[in-house]
Amino acid sequence: MVKEELNEAMIWQKERNGIRCLLCGWNCFIAKDKRGYCKVRENKNNKLYTLNFGKVIASNVQPIEKSGLYHFCPSTNSFSFGTFGCNFFSQFCPSFEIEQKLHEKTLEQVKFKEYSPDDIVETAEKKGCKTISYNYTEPAVSCEFTFRTSRLAQRSNIKNVFVTNGYIGEDAVKKISKYLDATVVNIKASTDPEFYEKFMSIKNAEIIFDALKQMKKHRVFIEITNLIVPQVGDNLEMGRKLAEYISNELGSDIPYHILQFHPTPNLQLPPTPVATLEKFADEARKIGLRYVYIGNVPGHEENTYCHNCREVLIQRKAGIVKKIKLVQDRCPNCDFSIKIVKE
């Protein structure tokens, strides 16, 4: 059972009869002795506390490509971990079963291992990891632990990577971006408003776009994934609009990953047809995106090519790098500069 130890939270303000949490797009008003939507931020005596500080539910050393990054420190290992807590309660989220326990049974039955920020950084160093990936669940709702850990990691010359749904408030983006090197923003159904409202109770996905612009402003390296869900989240016109936004507002060289959906015990929809994914990829390229990938389909459109001469620069199989032909950040054939961050 989770020990409900309290650590004072960041990014909130007092209001009449309670507290306003400004961490994410929910902007929860939290009355005394109540919790926010994420279930891990609680008002105690009109101060906001976090209940998940250092409570890690999953950790692993894995290639950074498994975090969703193809152009940031390729072919290096990352120490990935996640605490419990999320601001999306959706069956389409990988941590749904954990979050279901939080929403239905408060904090009981959640297994975790206690870590300090120093523990995380020391583990990454011992494992020879170049990066720490704040992953598995939504890292924004662990802002306090993430902030302290990322600050320590930067001092140890370890880069910090956010794997996030992007539903983050402006103040939180500013706070964490001081120590954030890269982010993967995981979008679903091309941010189709009907999908977000029906399956995640989110009425305004524009907050995700605001967060992306803030991250760009703070020079965080960005990659974007888009999960295409058959029957309920595969609107090609929405895919075009998303690709246009990325190209016009963030840049045509943002790596963009179109992901295949796979059924789960809770979701018995079929896998996304590869032909559907290819249509989304083709449209994104027509709009002008330079680095478009198809994910969750091993051996299919996962290599990196030079935008100028089409030379194969990074070969991958099932997301794992097999060969890199870059000279620093340039194509060895035509000397074209590629948007990539090496070690």
- Residue 146 · residue 53 · CB < 8 Å: no
Question: Can you give the pLDDT at residue 98?
Answer: 61
- Residue 135 · residue 163 · CB < 8 Å: yes
Parallel, antiparallel or unpaired: strands 113-114 and 55-63: antiparallel
Question: Can you give the pLDDT at residue 101?
Answer: 59
pTM of the model: 0.94
Instruction: Name, in order, each residue with C-beta under 8 angstroms of 218's C-beta and a sequence gap of 6 or more.
Output: 173, 174, 177, 178, 180
> 330-337 long-range CB contacts below 8 Å, 24 or more apart?
331/306, 333/306, 333/309, 334/306, 334/308, 334/309, 336/306, 336/307, 336/308, 336/309
Per-residue confidence band for 2, with pLDDT thresholds at 50, 70 and 90:
very low
pLDDT tens digits for range 157-174: 999 999 999 999 999 999
Least confident interval from 44-48, 56-60, 111-115, 333-337? 111-115
Q: With the CA atoms of 139, 140, 142 and 147 taken in that order, what torsion angle do they form, in degrees rounded to the nearest 10?
A: 100
- Residue 294 · residue 260 · CB < 8 Å: yes
> What average pLDDT is seen over the chain?
92
Sheet holding 12-15, edge to edge: 12-15, 18-21, 29-30
Q: Report how far Cα 92 is from the mean position of its chain's Cα atoms.
A: 14
Per-residue confidence band for 6, with pLDDT thresholds at 50, 70 and 90:
confident
Question: Can you give the pLDDT at residue 1?
Answer: 38
Question: Which is more confident, 200 or 190?
Answer: 190
Question: Which is more confident, 51 or 3?
Answer: 51
What CATH fold (topology level) applies to the domain 55-302?
Answer: TIM Barrel (3.20.20)
pLDDT exceeds 80 at position 108: no
- Give CA–CA dist 3/54, Å, rounded: 11
**Got the DSSP string for 1-64?**
------EEPSSEEEETTEEEE-SBTT--EE-TT-B-TTSSEEEETTEEEES-TTEEEEEEEEEG
Kindly state the average pLDDT of the residues 71-86: 94
Report helix, strand and coil shares of the chain as percent, to nearest 5: 30, 30, 40
Parallel, antiparallel or unpaired: strands 320-324 and 312-317: antiparallel
Per-residue confidence band for 84, with pLDDT thresholds at 50, 70 and 90:
confident
Coil, strand or helix: which one is 224?
strand
* Rama region for 238: left / alpha / beta (φ>0; ψ in -120 to 50; rest): alpha
Q: What are the boundaries of each domain within the chain? A: 7-50, 55-302, 304-343
pLDDT tens digits for range 193-248: 999 999 888 988 999 999 999 999 999 999 999 999 999 999 999 999 999 999 99
DSSP 8-state assignment for residue 165 = -
Question: Can you give the pLDDT at residue 332?
Answer: 97
